[in-house]
Structure 1
C-alpha cells in the first residue's frame, strides 16, 4: 500500500547553523555535519541548508588540534531555522555575550535550538531554558543544577524536546536528538533512512543511565543478528523467548546472556522497541485503523497497545498519527 498523501512533498526545512569555537568537540560537531550537512541524493526533496558559524574568530582550534574555518559570522543566525550548539568547552566559563545575544534573538524569532552534551550550558546562559526541562551528560548534571536552579533537569533521558529547544545527553545522544529533529521534519521513514546510513538504530528507547557502565551494541554477532531479523519479520505474531533461543540453537539461559551481552538489552525489551518502531511507521505511512496497527505489531488488545505506545513514545497512537502522518500539515 502506498504511503498516505505520497505526492505531498515535504516543506523546505531551512538553514541549519552549527556553532564553532575554540575547544570544540569534533565528534559532536561531526554529528551535526553528518546529519544535516551531507548531500542526500537518495531523497527527491529539499534537504537542509547547512553552514558553520563562528562564535569568536573565523578560525577555531578544536580538541585534538584540528582547525575549523567557519563559513559565516554570528549575523548568519538571523537566517537560521535551526541552531546546533556542540559541547561548550568549560561549564564554569560564561560563553561570549555576542554569542548569547545572537542565539537569544534567533530563538525569539522562532529558530529552533539544539544542544549536544555540555552545549546545554550555552542555551542556559542565553536564558532559553528557564522554567523548562533539559538534560545533559550525566557527569555534568550536578553543575547544571547548581548553576541554573530554574531548569528542571532530567537525569535519565537521551534528549528532551521542549518544542523549539532540544537538549541531549552525552555526545552520542546528540545523534538521537538530531534524528528526532529529522523525524519531526520529515517523518520516520526519512529518519530511518538517515539512521541506516549512519549504521545505527533510528530510535533508542530508555535513558542514559544504561550507558554509564556499558554502551549498547546496536548490532550483535551473526547468530543473534539472524534471530533478530527473524523476529522482525514476525512482529504481528506472539514471539516467545524460548522460540528465539531455539532459533539461535541455544539454551534459553545462554541465549538471554548472549543477547544481553550483545545488545545491552533483554530480548523482551528489544521486541517491545521493535514493535513500537513498526507502530510508528504504520501510523505515519498507512491508512490502517488503530486496531489493525495494534494487530500488525503483535498486540491482541487495542487498549494494551495504547498503553504500551504511550509509555514508550510519550503520546497516544492517535495523537502521534495526527502529528507525524505523511502529508500532515
Structure 2
C-alpha cells in the first residue's frame, strides 16, 4: 500500500482545533477507504510539525511512524488572532520554500495564506484570505493576485482558503485528490460538513503530479501554474526546463503522465471551473481569461474534461 504523508504546521498561535480537526478528518478518510478494501487507495500518514524557537519545524506527532519520505502536502492552519511577524520567522519561511521546491503542495487557511504570501511563493499567483485581512494583504503583498471574494483558490501546488473554518474544505480537497471524490463525499457525510459536489459529479479538479523527482519538469510545472498556461509554447516550456524539445516531451510525459498540451488544457479548465463557480463573468470572457481565443474550442475542451457544457456547469455549481 502506498503511504502518503500530510504535514500540519503548528506555529505560535495556531488554531489547535484546526490541527486536530484535520487530523481527525484524514483519519476518518483512512477508515472509510479501508472499508473499500482497495490496494490502490493510499494510506494517509498525518504528521504535526511544531515550529521551534529557532524557527525550524520539528515533527512531534506521526500517525503512522515509518521511514522519512517527501511530504505530499504541508498545511498551515489559521489563527484566532491577527498575524504577527513572530509567527513567520525566516527559518520557517525558508523551510516552506524548500518543501515547495521539492514538489510538496502547500495549503494555507486564513492567516496561513498570509504566511505563504510572506514566503514569496504566492508572488504572481492567485490566492484568497480572510475578509478582515484582505485590505492589508493587498497592500502588503501587491505581487499576489488576491481574490478575496472566493472561499478557496486551488492553484494546484498552492491552495489558499478564506475562512477560519475552511480547513475542513482544504482537507476534503486533499482527500479528493488522493482517494477520489466518493471517499471525500463519504468523509464529509460522516462528519456532517459541507463539501462541494462538483468533483463527485464532474470528476476531481486537476491535481498535477508534483512528487516525481524530476527537478527540470517540476520547474516548468510551477511556471505553468504561475502563468495559468496562457500563451505558452512547447519551445518556451523546453527552454524553461533547459532541455531539448524531444527530451522535454519524453521527460514531461514520464513525470506527469500527460503530454504538455493535455496538461495545459487541464490547468486551464481547472481555472475555468473556479471562475464558473465563484464569478459572474461571461463564458466568452472566461474562455479568453484562461487562454482560449476561440470560445467554441474552450467549450469543446471543457465538456470533454468535465462532461458538462460551461453554462450547465455554472447552473449546477455556481454560488
Alignment TM-score, normalising by the size of structure 2: 0.56
List aligned pairs for 1:46-195, cutoff 5 A: 46-56=42-52, 70-71=60-61, 79-88=70-79, 90-93=82-85, 95-195=88-188
The SS at the match of 1:48 is strand
Instruction: For residue 187 of structure 1, report the CA deviation from its aligned partner.
Output: 2.1
Structure 2 segments unaligned to the other structure (5+ residues): 206-271, 279-285, 287-300, 308-319
Whether the 8 Å contact between 1:168 and 1:174 is mirrored in structure 2 is yes
* Cα deviation 1:215-239 (Å, max 9, x = unaligned): xxxxxxxxxxxxxxxxxxxxxxxxx
Matched with 2:190 is 197
RMSD between aligned alpha carbons? Answer: 3.5
Match of 1:32 among 12, 15, 22: 22
Which of 1 and 2 has greater Rg?
1
Bigger helix share: 2
Alignment TM-score, normalising by the size of structure 1: 0.54
Instruction: For residue 37 of structure 1, report the CA deviation from its aligned partner.
Output: 4.2
Q: What is the distance in 1 between the residues matched to 2:3 and 2:84?
A: 34
CA spacing shift, 1:12–1:317, aligned 2, 3 Å: farther
Matched with 1:316 is 302
Q: What is the distance in 2 between the residues matched to 1:46 and 1:84?
A: 19
Whether the 8 Å contact between 1:161 and 1:167 is mirrored in structure 2 is yes
Q: What is the distance in 1 between the residues matched to 2:73 and 2:23?
A: 13
Matched with 2:250 is none
Structure 1 segments unaligned to the other structure (5+ residues): 1-10, 59-68, 204-273, 284-306, 322-329
CA spacing shift, 1:150–1:78, aligned 2, 3 Å: farther
Whether the 8 Å contact between 2:9 and 2:74 is mirrored in structure 1 is yes
* Cα deviation 1:262-285 (Å, max 9, x = unaligned): xxxxxxxxxxxx7x57733799xx
Whether the 8 Å contact between 2:113 and 2:129 is mirrored in structure 1 is yes
List aligned pairs for 1:254-269, cutoff 5 A: none
The SS at the match of 2:132 is coil
CA spacing shift, 1:100–1:50, aligned 2, 3 Å: same
Whether the 8 Å contact between 2:109 and 2:163 is mirrored in structure 1 is yes
Instruction: For residue 12 of structure 1, report the CA deviation from its aligned partner.
Output: 3.5
